[in-house]
Every structure is written in structure tokens, then in C-alpha cells.
Structure 1
């Protein structure tokens, strides 16, 4: 027990909840569950398992290098059903890599949006509500890896080291991963509203 008084919410809150609108620029899915790179689609049909037939679809998934607290291959809930990328952030990464273009499908994106500033920094628990009624709950940012860097490098065979450069320059710009909270269909041209929850820093004492 401690005599230290508990911190009131007003003392630790750093941001109030709010919402911001963006626009869907494109939707993508993997041609088969074995593919990493996605391909443009006319529409994206989402179920509670994610994008049916997509590489990352499923209620559960196997743990990997991102989950060192589990033995590799442990079955766990799938909070990474959908990858959301930003037009503005992809352009920034391309500029940092000094390449002409960075297409969302090269790095496995499912949904490309524009107009939401600092998309990758959107906090967990944010609800992405699409105009057609579909809702994706954000789990968090998607850490850049060499595997995605290799996919980019394959499109620039005259440049060496892009596979390693991508993880170095894309941190904080790689987009988000999330899971389907409300199934539906997403198409290019839709408005998407990010409902940002209240945020605070956890006080350790």
C-alpha cells in the first residue's frame, strides 16, 4: 500500500478524443494466400476474418519475430488482418530512399488513404469508419522490415542496399495494421473517418 494519491485523469490526459477525415485512394489484396505483394482490386470485401483469401486473413495467426514473448509459430489472435497505408507517407519514404515511386502493393498494403496527417502515429483503439459502413479497429503501427524492403528493391535492380535502407528510413511511416470490427465493402473514393480515442501516458508510479 502507498499513501501517494492516485493521479486524476485530468493530470495525465495528453489529448482528447476527436475525429479526422480522409479519402480512400485504392484497395488491394493478395492474389493468393502465398503472396506477400498485393494487387489492385475494384473493391475490398471484408469479413470478421479480414480479407477472405488474403495472406493475412483469419481469426488467428502464427506468432513470428514481432512476438518474441511467444515461441515462433504459436497460435494467437489475429490483430494484423488489414494493412493501411498513407499516400503522403509513402511519398516521404520514397523521397528518403531517393526512388521515383513506392507503390502500396509492393509492401503488401490493403487500403491506401490520403488526407489523414501522420497516419502511422494514430494510436491503438482508433476506429476507422468507412463511408459504406465498414469499420476497422487499429491495433498499432506496422514496423518496417527487410522483407518489405526486398520487395521494393526488386523494382529498382540498379540500386543496391534498398532492402536494408527501407527499415532505416520508414520507421514511423510504414502505416497501420488492424482488424475488422464491422464487416462490409470498401471502395476507392470513399471517405474514411478516424475516430481518435482519448490518449494518455501511463504513470508508472
Structure 2
């Protein structure tokens, strides 16, 4: 295989395509917090964010315990908490609802903390994207929030599904690449419903096969 970093590799056009950085504006369409012992959220006018996440939230903390998403660690291993906040987009929730044949998917049913509108293909924002909020808060995107049966079960129960188990499994399928993002707090402060947010997408590329 040609060394991609050698002059020959560069001259042969074998370097990965570099996608330039860009900025896209959006708006905070809804805020939610989980101030109880369950991931389900409830509406809030503001979110008070510290370096640990949402103050008092179920997912707050500088660290968390590993689970099924981290099979490389024994379950329960303490690790960095990169999942302090869950963010979703209303247009993507509508697509999931249509696929499941239900009227709506509410953000709080699947434990989301924030609804962001106006940013196309929101769930596809790459890792390391920075979200700058009008009030001064900055969140750093870790990556996509893979759908799970726990969120699917909560959705099915709230939607009044005839078969909760079936809809929970259907949610995992329907919400793939549409379930939003997880992020952590890079710069703390207060986020208010309705404020503007700017996504700053870093320069990125597809690693060659």
C-alpha cells in the first residue's frame, strides 16, 4: 500500500478528502432536565450548567459508570462522563414518529435535555463540533446518541403503544442516526429557552480504508 503521507501518495491524490470547517446557526427550541432518579426529563425555562453538566441532573458528573455502550470495560468501570447532555432536533423526532406510526415523539420521553432547531442533519454533526450559545455557554459534541431499548420503552409507554416491547425494538431501528447527540460542558453558564446557538463544525475527513 502506498504511504499516504509520502510525496507519491499525495501526488496520486490518495489523501482523504478534507472537509473545511463551517458555522451553522440554530435556536434552542426547548430545555429539559431530569431532577429525579430516572433519565426521563421535564420541561425547564433555563438550564444551569457547570463543568459536571446540568446542576442536579440524572446524568450530571465529571465521571460516570460504563455500561453496554463500552464493552471494552467491565460494566461499572468509572470513566470520563462525555454524556452530560442529550440534544435532539424536532425535524428528526418527526421522522422517527412517522416511521413508528405515532403522532409525535416528545423530547422528554427519550430523556433529551435540549431541542435544537434550524441545523440541518443535526444528528450528523461530527465529534468535536462546538455549540456556542448566545448566553455564553459552550458545549462540545462527543458524537451520536445511539438509540437503546430503555429509551424506546419509555417512548412506547408514553405513546400508549399496544405492544411496548415491539415499539421499543422498532425505536432502536427507526431512530438510528436520528436520535441526536451527546455533549459535555466546555464552558459553563446558563442556557435559556429561545436563545440562539451556533454550531462550529471542525475541519474533518473520512479516514481511508
The Cα of 1:5 is off from its aligned counterpart by: 5.4
1:148 aligns to 2:151 (yes or no): yes
1:174 aligns to 2:179 (yes or no): yes
For residues 88 and 206 of structure 2, the distance between their equivalents in structure 1, rounded to whole angstroms, comes to 26
1:131 aligns to 2:130 (yes or no): no
Deviations 1:42-79 (A, max 9, x none): 10010000001111100000000000000000000000
Aligned equivalent of 2:23:
19
> Any unmatched runs of 5+ in structure 1?
none
For residues 4 and 77 of structure 1, the distance between their equivalents in structure 2, rounded to whole angstroms, comes to 35
For residues 157 and 132 of structure 1, the distance between their equivalents in structure 2, rounded to whole angstroms, comes to 38
8 A contact 1:119–1:175 mirrored in 2: yes
8 A contact 2:161–2:167 mirrored in 1: no
1:86 aligns to 2:82 (yes or no): no
**Runs of 4+ residues over 4 Å off in structure 1:** none
Q: Secondary structure of 1:92's partner?
A: helix
The Cα of 1:202 is off from its aligned counterpart by: 2.0
1:38 aligns to 2:38 (yes or no): no
Aligned equivalent of 1:66:
69
1:203 aligns to 2:208 (yes or no): yes
CA RMSD for the aligned pairs? 1.5
Deviations 1:81-135 (A, max 9, x none): 0101101100110111110111000100001011111111100000000010100
Seen in structure 2, the aligned counterparts of structure 1 residues 31 and 5 have a Cα distance that, compared at 3 Å, is closer
Seen in structure 2, the aligned counterparts of structure 1 residues 106 and 179 have a Cα distance that, compared at 3 Å, is same
Q: How many residues align?
A: 201
Aligned equivalent of 2:32:
28
Which of the residues 115, 119, 134 maps onto 2:118? 115
Seen in structure 2, the aligned counterparts of structure 1 residues 154 and 200 have a Cα distance that, compared at 3 Å, is same
For residues 164 and 155 of structure 1, the distance between their equivalents in structure 2, rounded to whole angstroms, comes to 15
The normalised TM-score by structure 2 is: 0.92
8 A contact 1:13–1:198 mirrored in 2: no
8 A contact 1:25–1:188 mirrored in 2: yes
